Amino acid sequence: MNASTLGSDLRLPLYQRLRDEMLAKISSGEWRPGEPIPTEAELTKTYSLAIGTVRKAVDTLVADGLLTRSQGRGTYVRRPDFNSSFFRFFRQVNSSGEHQVPQSRIDSLGIEQAPQAVIDALELGATDAVIRMQRIRMANERTIFSEDIWLPASRFAKLLEVDPKDFGNLLYPFYEAQCGQLVASAKETLTVEPADLQTSAALDVESGTPVVVIERIALSYDSTPLEYRLSKGRADTFRYQIEIS
């Protein structure tokens, strides 16, 4: 194998073609999260490239957060997490002042026709079925989120065979284990609106109280939409910070 093996557009620079090649290995699962990729020396031999070119390709994937380097150990496929999600900016602290993963409870789970908003978000056909899940998330005995979750039935049918009590507190590792679907990134949109009757009941606030609405579309490595989620939480405990330049 050598540089001519590198697919994609021949007009592209070598480091970008190598980058695409590595990205494909990650999204196909050939290189799995948490595991090391071949060493730089091996990559130079495999593709007959100079070390500088290989490093530049790796650099771009590190910059995009797909790989992490560790001097003396190797370069690893990063395990995606969602530390920068809006969720993290709700002040969910326990009595010791530490952040904590909220408890979850699935309240309903079933298959149905996808409403139009979900068809758009998940890029489905007009008649495709979806799995719908309603979930609440709690911390310190208090409900902090009420969630509506939609998944394409074609990829997630196996979830229907599992008792909702066994879903655990984190869904994405569960999706991976049960259905082989790996969430790599997400887009979130934040808005504020008054609580409707259902939401106010779920969050134990008065109807009309402002709630923060987080709309999330979770994507696979190859950018296929895997999950559409609408989460509503109290606005009074929300705090989000950015740096701009």
Residues that bind a copy of itself (CB under 8 A): 52, 63-66, 80, 82, 84-86, 184-194, 210, 212, 235-236, 238-245
Residue 23 binds to DNA (criterion: CB under 7 A): no
Integer Cα distance of 63 and 229 in angstroms: 27
Report the partner that residue 45 touches, choosing among DNA, a copy of itself, none (CB closer than 5 to 8 A by kind).
Answer: none
Q: Is 197 helix (H, G, I), strand (E, B) or coil?
A: helix
Nearer to a copy of itself, 87 or 159 (CB): 87
Integer Cα distance of 87 and 213 in angstroms: 11
Number of residues that bind DNA (CB under 7 A): 26
Cα Rg for the chain, rounded, in angstroms? 21
Report the partner that residue 244 touches, choosing among a copy of itself, DNA, none (CB closer than 5 to 8 A by kind).
Answer: a copy of itself
- Cα dihedral value 166, 90, 176, 230, nearest 10: 90
Stretch that binds DNA, among 64-72, 121-129, 154-162, 186-194 (CB under 7 A): 64-72
The token pair at 159 is 């979830």
Q: Helical H runs in 9-105?
A: 14-27, 40-47, 51-63
Residue 15 binds to DNA (criterion: CB under 7 A): yes
Residue 41 binds to DNA (criterion: CB under 7 A): yes
- DSSP strand pairing (142-152 vs 129-139): antiparallel
∠ CA 67-69-74, rounded to 5°: 105
Q: Which of 22, 53, 155, 238 binds DNA (CB under 7 A)?
A: 53
Closest distance to a copy of itself from the beta carbon of 131 (Å):
23
Q: Which of 20, 21, 40, 188 binds DNA (CB under 7 A)?
A: 40
Residues binding DNA (CB under 7 A): 3, 13-16, 36-37, 39-42, 48-53, 55-56, 69-75
